[in-house]
Amino acid sequence: MSLLVLGSIALDTVKTPVEERLELFGGTASYATISASFFTRSHLVAIIGDDFPKEYLEDFKQRNIDLSGLQIVPGKTFRWSGEYFNNMNNRKTHSTDLNVFANFTPTLPKAYRELPFILLANIGPDLQLHVLDQLQAPRFVIADTMNLWINIARADLVKLCKRIDLLSINDSEARELTEENNLIKAGALLRAMGPQYVVIKKGEHGCYLFGPDQFFSCPAYPLENIKDPTGAGDAFAGGLAGYLASHSNDSNSKKPVDFETLQQAVVYGSIMASFTVESFGPDRLRSVKQEEIEERWQAFKKLSAF
Amino acid sequence: MSLLVLGSIALDTVKTPVEERLELFGGTASYATISASFFTRSHLVAIIGDDFPKEYLEDFKQRNIDLSGLQIVPGKTFRWSGEYFNNMNNRKTHSTDLNVFANFTPTLPKAYRELPFILLANIGPDLQLHVLDQLQAPRFVIADTMNLWINIARADLVKLCKRIDLLSINDSEARELTEENNLIKAGALLRAMGPQYVVIKKGEHGCYLFGPDQFFSCPAYPLENIKDPTGAGDAFAGGLAGYLASHSNDSNSKKPVDFETLQQAVVYGSIMASFTVESFGPDRLRSVKQEEIEERWQAFKKLSAF
């Protein structure tokens, strides 16, 4: 089944302790749709300026991503610039130039409004709510967020949480939003805010999936070299959402998504994130082959089975 | 098969953000042998003063722990005092009074010298080497250590590593000893120092087991309340060693320990550690029932299987 993906498209400048790269193909919706494209067809909702490289637009098209919800407007595409330190776990944003993104208030194409699976990739919760308002009867809504929105748009984020099925959030954000240090307790507190399911991402330590009376501890793929963590969380959400959409075949069904399918979705999300960090920008993610995904699934299975 | 356990016996004063407890039953050998006692018979090598509570000595005896290698000498038992902060991951030592421990140079009882499984619990690497020197042909030697020895006895620790089969170490210590931030690389570097197997303990994030061309990511049991982390690493090592000794039944065999058995041993070690942190001191560990261990094994299986 099909997936709606809302998020940002950006040109990223990324610095690590080793290297700096300028104007990389980036944005939360870019990583999420590229990742989801290995599993299902995505319908993109985003905005770019007329300076956006044609090559990247072509990439979306070749991946069978529906661009009828993509606005291309005169002006400059959103730019982000940041730096990673030490063990790649600490990030500092150097600059955020919203450009055309500043006036983004998407109106969904009619065909989008009936889509069953929704990924609200990391973007302001006001925009996430604005898109949710236009949907008729979504079957499963996933939302990602970040510390920025916890700090400057907490009220909207709290409102959003009441209307989604799964929240994807990283460990420090979970602690910040719940004011609870213990992640097991934080997971329960986040579920109490609304979403039936919560994923807490722990970077190199894998992630937790919390459900009603259910819990899954997903390992991380053991990587010796992390080139650039940018987009890992978005590729995770995209892989998760894409797998879920492609493995829920009851059309028009409001049958609840089961925990076992969600567990697999979390594993596939983790696999896509593990590829993402192996290169600067989405290069490695873009070049992944289906058999590599399956190989890595086997590796995940092997490293955690006992 | 039987297990030799070398380590400290202490009376611990522990402070957490919530509570302080004085002169608790402690020491690395205490936690390790109590934990191992659920799996196998241990032969203890340690020293105490004549002030050591009879009640705790009785506990060792009731657990069928061989005390013929335990020295009881006039004077005061080793005392340690420390404090945990915030999320229990940061510890500060307030005082270390070696007392009778200062002159501990154990000579092994004759019957100990042929023991096949050896746990050198956390203690100075000079003492660990001193005990190793007295063994005839140990089948599998496990050593635990801590940051203190990396800082003040690195040369001995390096010497020790060449003579053991498995090193158990926590994440920050692994990074410190190898000067490598990436834990996957650090595991390989530690193996290159000597031990065929390495366990890197990551506290709330579980642990890694590294072997020749093999890798296991063991989850942590999801605990909402951690009362006191003291002894968790020792109980882990004791459970691991105890399980290993009890599941390697070829007497006098030098058959190598297989990775699958080690994986199970790591899971059982993690289970014992998870009980340990649920109370101050070893109270919870001491009261564990066999069926609770099996229940928790099922829980570990369930939370990580996909």
Give the model confidence (pLDDT) of A161-212 as tens digits: 999 999 999 999 999 999 999 999 999 999 999 999 999 999 999 999 999 9
Q: Does B85 touch chain A (CB under 8 A)?
A: no
Contact B303 A86 (CB under 8 A): no
A252, pLDDT greater than 60: no
Residue B89 in any domain: the answer is no
Of A86, A217, A264, the CB nearest to B181: A86
Q: How far apart are the first and last CA of chain B?
A: 34
Chain B residues touching A300 at Cβ < 8 A: 306
* pLDDT at residue B234, rounded to an integer: 98
What's the rounded Cα separation, in Å, for the pair B106 and B83?
Answer: 30
* Residue in chain B lying closest to A211 (CA): B303
Looking at the complex, report in whole angstroms how far the Cα of residue B172 sits from the nearest Cα belonging to chain A.
Answer: 13
DSSP three-state, residue A289: coil
Q: Does A214 touch chain B (CB under 8 A)?
A: no
* pLDDT at residue A130, rounded to an integer: 98
Q: How many percent of chain A have pLDDT more than 70? A: 98
Residue B86 in any domain: the answer is no
User: A218 forms bridges with which residues in the sheet?
Assistant: A207
* pLDDT at residue B254, rounded to an integer: 66
Mean pLDDT value across residues A265-275: 98
Residue B281 in any domain: the answer is yes
Comparing C-alpha atoms, which of A33, A45, A38, A34 is closest to residue A113?
Answer: A45
Contact A306 B206 (CB under 8 A): no
* pLDDT at residue A20, rounded to an integer: 95
* pLDDT at residue B298, rounded to an integer: 98
Comparing C-alpha atoms, which of A45, A146, A62 is closest to residue A101?
Answer: A45
Residue B132 in any domain: the answer is yes
A90, pLDDT greater than 70: yes
Contact A305 B303 (CB under 8 A): no
B1, pLDDT greater than 90: no
Chain B residues touching A182 at Cβ < 8 A: 87, 223-226
Chain A residues touching B184 at Cβ < 8 A: 222-224
Question: Amino acid identity of B250?
Answer: D
* pLDDT at residue A253, rounded to an integer: 64
Confidence of residue A306 (pLDDT cuts 50, 70, 90): very high
Q: Cα B31–B35–B38 angle (5° rounding)?
A: 155
* pLDDT at residue B29, rounded to an integer: 98
* Residue in chain A lying closest to B216 (CA): A303
CB neighbour list of residue A298: distance below 8 Å, 6 or more residues apart: none
**Which residues, numbered 247 to 266 in chain B, qualify as contacts with chain A under a Cβ-Cβ cut-off of 8 Å?**
260, 263-264
Contact B224 A86 (CB under 8 A): no
Residue B91 in any domain: the answer is no
What does the DSSP 8-state code read for residue B66?
B
Chain B residues touching A86 at Cβ < 8 A: 181
Confidence of residue A89 (pLDDT cuts 50, 70, 90): confident
* pLDDT at residue B88, rounded to an integer: 79
Give the tens place of pLDDT for each residue, A41-88: 999 999 999 999 999 999 999 999 999 999 999 999 999 999 998 777
* pLDDT at residue B216, rounded to an integer: 98
Residue B125 in any domain: the answer is yes
Domain of B111: which CATH number? 3.40.1190.20
Give the tens place of pLDDT for each residue, B164-215: 999 999 999 999 999 999 999 999 999 999 999 999 999 999 999 999 999 9
Chain A residues touching B218 at Cβ < 8 A: 306
List b or e across A213-243, with b for residues whose CB sees 16 or more CB atoms inside 10 angstroms.
eebbbbbbbbeeebbbbbbbbbbbbbbbbbb
Q: Which two tokens stand for residue A177?
A: 């939003």
* Residue span of the structural domain in which A242 resides: 3-304
Contact B86 A226 (CB under 8 A): no
Q: How many domains does the structure of chain A reveal?
A: 1
Residue B218 in any domain: the answer is yes
Contact B182 A218 (CB under 8 A): no
